[in-house]
C-alpha cells in the first residue's frame, strides 16, 4: 500500500521538483545559537532583516501554529547556457529567466493543494526564500544535502544549482535523516572566492563581503576595497558553485520559465555599459534582477568599469 508520504513525494517530482525530504517541526538547536553568533559578529552586513523575528526563524511552530512537519524541496536551475560576450558583465545563472520566487511558489501551492485534496483539511504554509525560515538548515536536517564549506546546500548526486522551498504543515510525517558532509579536505570554493567572503576553514560566510550581497542586497555604494575583485559580476555570483567538484553531477533544468531571453544573452559589454531604463524593463520583466532596480544594476556596472 502506498503511504501518503510516498504520494506526496511522487506528486512533488511530477510537479518538477528535483528532490523532497521531511523533518520534524521543532525548536532549532544548535542552529539558533549559530545564527545568534553569526549576527553578533555582524556578518549580515546591512541585511538588518535577518535579525528580525528571531523566534519565528528558529521555531516553525511559532511561524505556523500546530506545525508538525517541515517538508524541504529542491528545484533545479542548472544551465549550460552562458552570455555570448566573454567580456560582458555577468549575471548569476539563476537570474537568467523568470523570477524563481514566482515559479517555485506556484508549484509549491499546487503541492499543498494536492495534499489537501488527498488528505483533507491540512493546515500549512508555503515558503520560497520569502519569510523567516532557515531553509538550508531544514534542508540539511531532512537529508536533502549537507551545508558545504561555501555555505550552500550540496547534494552528492545533484550538486548545488537548485533553489530551496518549504512546506510547513500540521500533518505528522515520518522524518528523513541528515546525510554526511562530503566536502573533505577540498578548499576550492575558499580559494576561488575573490573577495575572501568564505572563512579560511569554510562553513562560515561573511555576508558583507559576498559578491551577491554587494550587487543585490547592498543599497549604498560598493566599498572601494572591492574594486577589481568582483570577477565582472553585476548581479549575484556563481564562482563557489562553478569550482565545486560536486557540480559535475548537475544536469540542465527542464523549466521553460528559466530559459533566458535571446537578446539578454547576446548583450555585449558595450550594450551593458550603455543600458537604458527602457531596455532594463524589457530584459527583466518578471525577473529576479528587478530586485536591484535599474539604478542598482547601473551602479554595479559602473563600479566594475570605474566610470
- Average pLDDT of the residues in 186-213: 96
Q: What is the pLDDT of residue 37?
A: 73
- Average pLDDT of the residues in 38-57: 61
pLDDT tens sequence across 7-44: 999 999 999 999 999 999 998 887 767 766 766 666 65
Positive or negative, the CA dihedral 293, 226, 84, 253 is negative
Q: If pLDDT is split at 50, 70 and 90, which confidence band does 180 have?
A: very high
Among 43-47, 231-235, 262-266, which stretch is predicted with the lowest mean pLDDT? 43-47
pTM for the whole structure: 0.94
**Domain extent listing, the chain:** 4-79+99-169, 188-305
Q: If pLDDT is split at 50, 70 and 90, which confidence band does 181 have?
A: very high
167 vs 186: CA distance, rounded Å: 33
The four Cα atoms 23, 28, 32, 35 give a dihedral, to 10 degrees, of 0
Q: Cell 558583507 appears where?
A: 208
9 vs 5: CA distance, rounded Å: 6
* Active centre residues (catalytic): 129
180 vs 42: CA distance, rounded Å: 29
Amino acid at each position: 500500500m502506498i503511504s501518503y508520504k510516498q504520494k506526496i513525494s511522487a506528486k512533488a517530482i511530477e510537479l518538477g521538483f528535483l528532490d523532497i525530504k521531511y523533518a520534524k517541526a521543532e525548536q532549532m538547536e544548535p542552529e539558533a545559537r549559530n545564527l545568534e553568533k553569526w549576527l553578533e559578529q555582524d556578518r549580515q552586513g546591512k541585511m538588518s532583516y535577518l535579525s528580525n523575528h528571531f523566534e519565528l526563524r528558529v521555531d516553525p511552530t511559532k511561524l505556523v501554529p500546530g506545525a508538525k512537519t517541515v517538508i524541504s524541496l529542491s528545484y533545479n536551475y542548472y544551465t549550460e547556457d552562458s552570455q555570448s560576450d566573454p567580456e560582458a558583465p555577468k549575471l548569476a545563472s539563476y537570474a537568467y529567466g523568470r523570477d524563481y520566487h514566482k515559479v517555485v511558489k506556484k508549484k509549491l501551492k499546487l503541492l499543498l493543494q494536492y495534499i489537501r485534496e488527498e488528505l483533507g483539511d491540512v493546515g500549512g504554509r508555503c515558503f520560497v526564500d520569502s519569510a523567516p525560515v532557515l531553509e538550508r538548515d531544514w534542508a540539511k536536517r531532512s537529508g536533502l544535502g549537507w551545508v558545504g564549506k561555501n555555505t550552500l546546500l550540496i547534494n552528492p548526486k545533484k550538486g548545488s544549482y537548485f533553489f530551496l522551498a518549504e512546506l510547513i504543515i500540521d500533518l505528522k510525517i515520518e522524518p528523513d535523516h541528515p546525510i554526511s558532509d562530503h566536502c573533505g579536505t577540498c578548499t576550492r570554493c575558499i580559494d576561488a572566492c575573490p573577495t575572501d567572503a568564505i572563512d579560511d576553514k569554510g562553513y562560515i560566510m561573511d555576508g558583507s563581503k559576498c559578491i551577491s550581497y554587494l550587487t543585490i542586497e547592498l543599497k549604498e555604494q560598493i566599498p572601494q576595497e572591492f574594486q577589481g575583485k568582483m570577477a565582472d559580476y553585476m548581479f549575484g555570483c556563481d564562482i563557489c558553485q562553478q569550482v565545486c567538484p560536486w557540480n559535475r553531477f548537475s544536469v540542465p533544468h527542464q523549466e521553460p520559465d528559466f530559459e533566458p531571453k535571446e537578446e539578454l544573452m547576446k548583450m555585449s559589454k558595450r550594450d551593458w555599459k550603455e543600458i537604458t531604463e527602457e531596455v532594463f524593463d524589457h530584459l527583466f520583466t518578471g525577473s529576479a534582477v528587478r530586485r536591484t532596480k535599474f539604478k542598482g544594476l547601473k551602479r554595479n556596472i559602473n563600479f566594475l568599469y570605474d566610470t
